Structure 1
Amino acid sequence: MTATRPVPAPDFVGYPEVRRHIRALLDGRPGTHRRPVPACPKWTVTDLVGHVLEKAEGVFARHGGVLPPREGPLEVPELLDRWDEIGDELDRRLAEAGGRSGEVLVMDAYTHELDLRAALGGPPPVEHLAGAPSFDVLVRGFSGSVAGRGRPPGRLRTTGGAAWTAGPGRPGISVTAPAHELYRALAGRRSLGQLAALDWSAAPARWLPAFTWGPFSPPLRPGV
């Protein structure tokens, strides 16, 4: 996989920004906590926040952190407080570990920040420190799916000029989309119809199954 853009910041750098954004989206808005999250069927906003906290706690414990006591189910304000409580130390431990130790955690949290924004009817962020490293994680996973399914390699392009090669070899097809749309496509948030409607250089039918990989698969209905 290659990318024609600057080398991104270390993977963990965007994680504090995700925490700040999610808190800013939800602070003082208790009426939204039971709202469904269309990108995550059967989840409410509370479930989404509980999930990102659970992921953080798991990584924190694997890196030697001692979790504070937890009693009973927590609501959104308490979930956010607990996330912040371990956040600074988790950031430090990820920085010390280096490499790709926090990349999946950051990608997961950033993806769910976008899910939350969509559920609340808000726009995606114009810029985000977690965006570039999260894109890299998704492109690597998608590239593995392309190769594993025996599909020809292709070129992924954003309308802003970023580009990646998915799969080994010389690309024989390309797809171009705004960065947010391409990200959501790679993260299983776009239906097969939405994927086919992107700007492809050739018929995309052979490629579409590769968008099912890891935990991701295109929804049956158009995603947001």
Structure 2
Amino acid sequence: MTATRPVPAPDFVGYPEVRRGVRALLEGRPETHLRPVPACPEWTVIDLLGHLTGIAERVLVRHGGTPPPALDGPPGVPALLDRWDDVGAELDRRLAAAGGHSGEIMVMDAYTHELDLRAALGVPPPAEHAAWVPSFDVLVRGFSGSLAGRELRPLRLRTTGGSAWTAGTGRPTASVTAPAYELYRALAGRRSLGQLAELDWSEAPGPWLPAFTWGPFAPPSAPGR
């Protein structure tokens, strides 16, 4: 996989910005805490936040840390936000000390779910975000492996803003182009097969559509947001 951008900073740098973004989304909207999250059909907003907190705790343990004591009873959104910040602050320090890409999948997961929350609440995605580049790189690597594993021809992934990546093995002779947000959501399993087919493909997309099912991701049956 190659890219036409500068090499990004270590992936954990976007994690505090995700936490701040999610807190800003939820603190002023207490009426939305039980709202369903369409991108995660089995979850409400509070379920999604519990997932983010739980992932942070598991990664902290993996890096030698100890999460705070368990909360008493079913936690609400304020308690989960505070717990995520407490765990996340320790994680930030440990990931910074570890360097490299120790937290890349966690950051991608958290940023993807911030976008899920924004879609569920009708809030547009941020114009810029520190987690964007490292998260996109994780998704491109996963999609690249999916193409190679299915022995599909490589693809040139392009954004309408001018960024480009090669996914798969070899020199690509076909491409797909979309706005950066749409391409990200496509790679993260948030776009249906119909929506994927409607992107700007240089040739018929059918052969490549199965590769959008990889890892934890799969196109939803209904159009995604």
Structure 2 length as normaliser, TM-score? 0.98
State the match for 1:80 in structure 2: 81
Aligned mates of 2:221, 2:150 — CA distance in 1: 21
Aligned mates of 1:152, 1:87 — CA distance in 2: 40
Structure 2 counterpart SS, 1:64: coil
State the match for 1:114 in structure 2: 115
The reply on whether 1:3 has 2:3 as its aligned counterpart is: yes
Report matched runs for 1:130-145 at 5 Å: 130-145=131-146
State the match for 1:210 in structure 2: 211
State the match for 2:103 in structure 1: 102
Give the residue type in structure 1 aligned to 2:161.
G
Structure 2 counterpart SS, 1:175: strand
Shift of 1:102: 0.1
Residues 169-191 of structure 1, C-alpha deviations (whole Å, 9 max, x = no match): 01021000000000000000000
Query: Any unmatched runs of 5+ in structure 2?
Result: none
Report matched runs for 1:30-179 at 5 Å: 30-70=30-70, 71-179=72-180
The reply on whether 1:14 has 2:5 as its aligned counterpart is: no
Give the residue type in structure 2 aligned to 1:74.
P
Give the residue type in structure 2 aligned to 1:14.
G
State the match for 2:185 in structure 1: 184
Give the residue type in structure 2 aligned to 1:33.
H
Give the residue type in structure 2 aligned to 1:146.
L
Structure 1 counterpart SS, 2:122: coil
Shift of 1:222: 0.1
Structure 1 counterpart SS, 2:176: strand
Which of structure 1's runs of 4+ aligned residues deviate more than 6 A? none
Structure 2 counterpart SS, 1:174: strand
State the match for 1:197 in structure 2: 198
The reply on whether 1:27 has 2:27 as its aligned counterpart is: yes
Aligned mates of 1:96, 1:174 — CA distance in 2: 39
Residues 88-147 of structure 1, C-alpha deviations (whole Å, 9 max, x = no match): 111010111111110000000000000000000010110000000000000000000000
Aligned mates of 1:111, 1:84 — CA distance in 2: 18
Structure 1 length as normaliser, TM-score? 0.99
Shift of 1:86: 1.6
Query: Any unmatched runs of 5+ in structure 1?
Result: none
Aligned mates of 1:97, 1:175 — CA distance in 2: 36
Shift of 1:214: 0.2
Structure 1 counterpart SS, 2:170: coil
Shift of 1:42: 1.4
Aligned mates of 1:112, 1:196 — CA distance in 2: 24
Aligned mates of 1:26, 1:154 — CA distance in 2: 38
Shift of 1:72: 2.4
Give the residue type in structure 1 aligned to 2:175.
S
Shift of 1:221: 0.2
Give the residue type in structure 1 aligned to 2:148.
A
Structure 2 counterpart SS, 1:23: helix
Give the residue type in structure 2 aligned to 1:175.
V
Q: CA RMSD in A?
A: 0.7
Q: What is the count of residue pairs matched by the alignment?
A: 224
Aligned mates of 1:41, 1:154 — CA distance in 2: 30
